[in-house]
Structure 1
């Protein structure tokens, strides 16, 4: 794959920490686009294809270790976690994202490469230059619009604690980890204001959904006003 990164105008990602309310926001994005007559493909990262979903399950395995017959418990290293995420992402882009964009659909993804910079870079302490190289070589694609649902870590953790299912491997991290993740997201948003829209996710779900829809509408209207190149 080429090392160039394409920011595609019909590719939209939603980012945020734990408990930020991405499900409600994604529904708002879908409804807004469909009202405008667009085909919408909803997907998630890592995941989105049968193979990528298997990799996702491996990454989020709450047992904390990978066990093999006759082998000692083997923790998943930060480096292996990053490479697994990019393996799933490369498959996802090839099989789902690019084909949908090529036929003219909008793709809305629950997370994308910004999460690797925040979680494996800021959270785990891995070199962002390595992440950038993987992004160029294995993915080559970036959203044209990224909506960041920003929420206080403790409030987000309080929201997720009420879920029926137990925490996965990432959700089981400590607050300090998620503070680094949040700071990483906010730095990326500040560095790329043309791509990011930051949404206050502390508000009630209906208000967050409305803010997401308004941000998308404004972005679409501005894109329509841009002169042809």
Structure 2
């Protein structure tokens, strides 16, 4: 799908440093003279933000099924893509997303172990082949990432999963990144300055293409 703007996505586990990466990449894109719109998933529209609350909250009297979680993720994504991402790309704006479809394939496909056939069917229905132009995957060891996330405050329903869930999620992320020619992996287990320099180098290289 050809658009006038570019869609850049930042992916990674909890504690990988996505918020910092968003700031670095936003500055670089705008310094290059592009109009920029920032989004997050799930969320980014009024309805998608309401879905985000459904997904992340604990429901004391009922179990959130993995099927419901998956469907809600794609419902929120459909709203965001059609109402925010595509219209802005068509106008020539660049869009920077904090998470996108790779998250569902990693968390629900890897972590929850949902069959890829089900996920691919939802991707076809909601995205019709639409993909990011460039993805930056911030890789962190799950144990360290969760330690960092806990340092920020209370964890949400998904963040409270056990370590093995995040290990499966990371494994799937790495497999997906290896298959994606438009994805760059950043090692966030380095010192913070090296991480920042690697992020800056990756976005500058993309901007210069």
Task: State the TM-score, normalizing by the size of structure 2.
Answer: 0.95
1:36 Cα deviation from its structure 2 partner: 0.5
Specify which structure has the higher proportion of helix: 2
Specify which structure has the higher proportion of strand: 1
The runs of at least 4 consecutive aligned structure 1 residues that moved more than 6 Å come to none
Task: State the TM-score, normalizing by the size of structure 1.
Answer: 0.87
Which residue of 2 is the match for residue 113 of structure 1? Answer: 101
Task: Name the SS of the counterpart of 2:151 in structure 1.
Answer: coil
Query: Which of 44, 47, 56 is the matching residue for 1:48?
Result: 44
1:167 Cα deviation from its structure 2 partner: 0.6
Query: Which of 177, 188, 193 is the matching residue for 1:201?
Result: 188
Which residue of 2 is the match for residue 153 of structure 1? Answer: 142
1:219 Cα deviation from its structure 2 partner: 1.7
**What are structure 1's unaligned runs of at least 5 residues?**
1-5, 66-72, 223-229
C-alpha distance in 2, partners of 1:60/1:195? Answer: 29
**What are structure 2's unaligned runs of at least 5 residues?**
none
Residues 1:77 and 2:65 aligned together:
yes
Query: Which of 122, 129, 139 is the matching residue for 1:134?
Result: 122
Count the aligned residue pairs.
Answer: 207
1:130 Cα deviation from its structure 2 partner: 1.5
- Distance verdict in 2 for CA 1:135–1:75, change over 3 Å: same
